[in-house]
Structure 1
Amino acid sequence: MTVYGYARVSTKGQNLSRQIKALNEAGCETILKDKITGTKRERPALDELFATVKEGDLVIIQDLTRISRSTQDLLNIVNELDAKGVGLKSLKESWLDTSSQSPQSRLMLTIFAGLAQFERDITSERTKEGLEVAKENGKHIGRPKTKNEKVEHAITLWKQGTNIKDIEKLAGVSKTSLYRKLKERGLK
């Protein structure tokens, strides 16, 4: 039996060290890591994990949100691991241990996965409602707009043949903002 760990964060800027430490302390022999959103089912390390595990192995995760983003996704992952004879265990959700194959563990998995999905859906709904209220009240949502004077200066520099890195420094306008404005004006 091999004990695998699976760790995931959503963006490259986030850190896996807390998860890796917990998985090492749990006795994982091999830890596979992804830095990709959990909403995508195709994740390189998770795909490698499924290709590698064999009957009798155990996969440990720090918590459910690291391996799945929806109840259906979690149940599909559990079923896929079960079909291979592989158990799944969560360090945070101690009730999740499919290696025991107990009916109680299956029931808890279904109930709590549903509750976790419900919580994510409520949070998402509240966020959308909050954004709508902010828009109605005239608040700008998103990145701050680049000031027109800066953009005009950047376009002038661009027309003079200044390279993009220098334009970013001199005008204080990002390459993305500059290219967007150039495209809007039909200059690029």
Structure 2
Amino acid sequence: MLVGYMRVSKADGSQTTDLQRDALLAAGIDAYSLYEDSASGKKDDRPELASCLKALRNGDTLVVWKLDRLGRDLRHLVNVVHDLAERGIGLKVLTGQGAAIDTTTASGKLVFGIFAALAEFERELISERTLAGLASARARGRNGGRPYKMTPAKVHLAMASMGRPGTKVRDLCNELGITRQTLYRHVSPAGELRPDGKKLLNLK
């Protein structure tokens, strides 16, 4: 079964899906098998896309007018199509830069394989840049990454410190290596245990 997905970038009515709808109908898709979102492709909340992907079954083919109607970016696009392939679902692009993609054919799979390789290349570059940035920061005496997690010992120190007048929360957080949010999830401004603190100390 053929299932079509459409999307416009603006939800204010300045764009319509008429051109996409006509092309999808001409490709043999029934009107009741069309899904439409009116939102930016950068937004994670695309309910009709979620419904469309959920409705697809093994042997179906998802048809889109252009590649940019489906994915937020290359990585997201590759992940979506990989998931479809795992479920035995094909993808066909009608026009634009991805018009050669039809994963129900051998040549179409080859073209998409190139896209997947580029996405992997992009991930490797991002990883390399991140590691290089952390190494550079460490060389300058700065440690990157997330702050250390709260520990039972830190909870006890936080309780004692927060209960004393004059304690500066920022200095305490720096000393314990935690964020202000983490501190307040475990200990109140008066030095009393909060639910997360009790849980960490195995108290009820």
TM-score, reference length from structure 1? 0.55
Residue in 1 that maps onto 2:16: 15
Report the secondary structure of 1:11's partner residue: coil
Residues 111 and 26 from structure 1, CA distance in 2 versus in 1: closer, same or farther, beyond 3 angstroms?
farther
Q: Percent identity?
A: 32
Mapping 1:145-160, distance limit 5 Å:
none
How far the C-alpha of 1:50 sits from its partner, in A, is 1.2
Cα deviations by residue, 1:51-92 (Å, 9 ceiling, x for unpaired): 100000001000011011211010011011112110011001
- Bigger Rg, structure 1 or 2: 2
How far the C-alpha of 1:99 sits from its partner, in A, is 1.7
Amino acid in structure 1 at the alignment position of 2:16: N
Mapping 1:14-163, distance limit 5 Å:
14-29=15-30, 30-92=33-95, 93-102=98-107, 103-110=109-116
CA RMSD after TM alignment: 2.2
Answer yes or no: is the 8 Å Cα contact 1:95–1:109 preserved in 2: no
Residues 46 and 64 from structure 1, CA distance in 2 versus in 1: closer, same or farther, beyond 3 angstroms?
same
Q: Quick one: distance in 2 between partners of 1:91 and 1:112?
A: 21
Q: Quick one: distance in 2 between partners of 1:111 and 1:82?
A: 16
Amino acid in structure 2 at the alignment position of 1:77: V
How far the C-alpha of 1:9 sits from its partner, in A, is 0.4
Report the secondary structure of 2:72's partner residue: coil
Answer yes or no: is the 8 Å Cα contact 2:66–2:99 preserved in 1: no
For structure 1, the residue ranges without an aligned partner over 5 or more in a row are: 118-188
Q: Quick one: distance in 2 between partners of 1:112 and 1:3?
A: 28
Amino acid in structure 2 at the alignment position of 1:75: V
Residue in 1 that maps onto 2:4: 5
Answer yes or no: is the 8 Å Cα contact 1:7–1:20 preserved in 2: yes
Q: Quick one: distance in 2 between partners of 1:101 and 1:48?
A: 28
Cα deviations by residue, 1:14-46 (Å, 9 ceiling, x for unpaired): 111110000000111211000011112331110
Answer yes or no: is the 8 Å Cα contact 1:95–1:105 preserved in 2: yes
